[in-house]
Structure 1
């Protein structure tokens, strides 16, 4: 009895201060499995002298500065050396533009990313203009020629956006059988891939979804894929290319095959509201319930029991890092 009392299954989820809401439901969801969840913010964690023993999930890399990523990378190494499981290595992080270029160069994607700050300009249309950092989104409709691109860029600069944070992305999406656009998604938690729900929307930038757009057959197929997910190998390949072991990949299915759009290292994973897993379509409701169950199991597989205790992160004689 004493041995079990002195051991704990602890999951520590680290985000920026303003984006801890993404994981707010999970302390209660994981509690029945015996997992204790603690949520830390980088603003407090990076300068800390010690941190609890447990399994760590490091997120929100695209919201950290280079110096913050460097300190987080040092802490990653300390945790791994202490025998902890740590999902996501800050040293491997690729910002959006770098990841998209890598995926194109490696043949995973067929579409490109063009940085006007580097003198790059689209060579294939249509494209759209978007911001790169902080998930601030798309700034234009589809642009079909160089003149439209120049006008969109000038409009973004006039609104106060910075040139270094802007990119033209080649449009890569094929409508589904219903004529709507789809955003597919999947989570990676360690070595587990968990299918996420598919967003169906009439607008080409499928993001939040629309009721009545997907067909009954699509919902049935989605539920079936919870057992036999045909894109698991693709999802693994993209995460491996990104050097990431946790997050959500958003991608599309096109005539050229699946195309990766982004990896969100701090995905919103639900609010925990009682009606959150309910949907007018019974198959979609079953899919959402299955996703929740699979995510709980995937987290559980990453969190072994450890003796209660602390890990020293730095010698107290060293100056506290300024982040």
Structure 2
């Protein structure tokens, strides 16, 4: 059994795959919000995967650590991926990767003196996944002007630019995903622009489906990527990176990555998208098998909090009904049927 714990507003990142196709994990998965993890008097017996930790408020962060400790007192045999108290923010993650000699570039605080930077640089949010917040900045004056243009410098950092162009002169971004002990390639995107978005609607994108398939079927960069995940302390997530002078350079590691369903992408990209989904489901299946938990079970855990309830929408109402009747592990199958009926 597997239990995902993540913010309610970002559960689409796992639901869009798990609810939309046949797989052997239906009736083997619980999907909980952090509010539920903190407030339910009983919790599932499962291997736990904590996602979206950077989005937690300080009270929920502290509460999640305390509740997890209480759960593990009851069931010390349970495996946990991404313990909240072992996941650090992006600034610290990038600092670790640089200190370990994996990254040659740095992400530094917004108030770092220009004299200490290697230009060009750009601004980016330190907690979001929205990419650069400025153009490339080539000197101290351009940097100062870009910072002054921000609504507030709070929540931003300065990233030293690296030239991620490949042998063809195109900007290439790769991705690897980790699920417990298993790593696999999860994307290869190419762009004419230095901001390689990896979006099919990006006019600067250069489709190379055959090259992506070859990358997805191989193990290129795996040794370095495993070390990067270990240095960051992340056991579930996706790392985006580029290879510069033969060395992977990590842009970020996202603990709640969204995988695009193959049916949503252009026809020429579907084989690659399907391969990524297949590897993802294989990784979850292997993790579930290692859990050794044969059937759904709940355990009473002390320390449940009384938290304000959100207004029930259609999806959350179905979720609550399944939970009340002890069938929450059926949710991915039930939600899938409701999607097909266009009720959700």
TM-score, structure 2 normalization: 0.79
Matched, 1:183 2:177: no
Number of the residue aligned with 2:24? 33
Map 1:77-92 → 2, pairs under 5 A: 77-81=69-73, 82=75, 83-92=77-86
Residue 45 of structure 1 aligns with which residue? 37
CA deviation profile, 1:7-26 (whole Å, cap 9, x unmatched): xxx32222112111111233
CA positional deviation for 1:113: 1.8
Does structure 1 residue 296 correspond to structure 2 residue 304? no
1:321 to partner: Cα distance: 7.9
**Equivalent-residue separation in structure 2 for 1:39 and 1:58 (angstroms):** 10
Change in 2 beyond 3 A, CA 1:213/1:267: closer
Aligned equivalents of 2:204, 2:306: Cα separation in 1 = 54
Alignment RMSD:
2.6
1:93-115, Cα deviation, whole Å (9 max, x unpaired): 11111111111112111101221
SS of residue paired to 1:144: coil
Q: Which moved more, 1:58-67 or 1:259-268?
A: 58-67
Q: Which residue number corresponds to residue 311 of structure 1?
A: 299
Deviates more, 1:30-39 or 1:133-142: 30-39
Residue of structure 1 in register with 2:3 after alignment: 12
Distance in 2 separating the partners of 1:188 and 1:315: 31
Kept in 1: contact 2:189–2:198 (CA 8 A): yes
1:133 shift after superposition: 1.8
Number of aligned residue pairs: 300
**Are 1:200 and 2:190 counterparts?**
yes
Give 1:251-266 correspondences, 5 Å limit. Answer: 251-255=241-245, 257-266=247-256
1:146-225 to 2 correspondences below 5 Å: 146-156=140-150, 160-161=151-152, 163-209=153-199, 210=202, 213-214=205-206, 219-225=209-215
Shift of residue 140 of structure 1? 0.6
1:99-114 equivalent positions in 2, closer than 5 A: 99-114=93-108
Partner Cα separation in structure 2 for residue 114 and residue 241 of structure 1:
18
Contact 2:241 2:250 in 1 (8 A): yes
Query: Hey, what does 1:5 align to over in structure 2?
Result: none
User: What's the secondary structure of 1:258's corresponding residue?
Assistant: strand
How far off its partner does 1:225 sit?
3.3
Corresponding residue for residue 6 of structure 1: none
SS of equivalent to 2:267: coil
* Cα deviation, residue 190, structure 1: 0.4
Say if 1:84 and 1:139 are closer, same or farther in 2 by CA, change over 3 A.
Answer: same
For residues 137 and 289 of structure 1, do their structure 2 counterparts lie closer, same or farther at Cα, with a shift above 3 Å needed?
closer
Q: Distance in 1 between matches of 2:186 and 2:255?
A: 15
Q: Any idea what SS the aligned residue of 1:185 has?
A: strand
Q: Answer whether contact 1:249 1:261 (CA < 8 A) is retained.
A: yes
2: CA distance, partners of 1:86 / 1:119 = 40
CA distance 1:212–1:102, shift in 2 (3 Å): closer
Aligned residue among 243, 249, 254 for 2:239: 249
Q: Distance in 2 between matches of 1:278 and 1:294?
A: 20
Deviates more, 1:237-246 or 1:39-48: 39-48
2:259 matches 1:269: yes
Give the direction of change, closer, same or farther, for the CA distance of 1:76–1:199 in structure 2 (3 Å limit).
farther
Contact 1:17 1:41 in 2 (8 A): yes
Please state whether the residue corresponding to 2:119 is helix, strand or coil. Answer: coil
Question: Does the residue aligned with 1:234 lie in a helix, a strand or coil?
Answer: helix
Q: Which consecutive unaligned segments of at least 5 residues does structure 1 have?
A: 1-9
Question: TM-score if structure 1 supplies the norm length?
Answer: 0.83
The residue matched to 1:164 in structure 2 has which SS? coil
User: Any idea what SS the aligned residue of 1:100 has?
Assistant: helix
Could you tell me how far 1:44 is from its partner in structure 2? Answer: 2.7
State the 1:136 CA deviation. Answer: 4.4
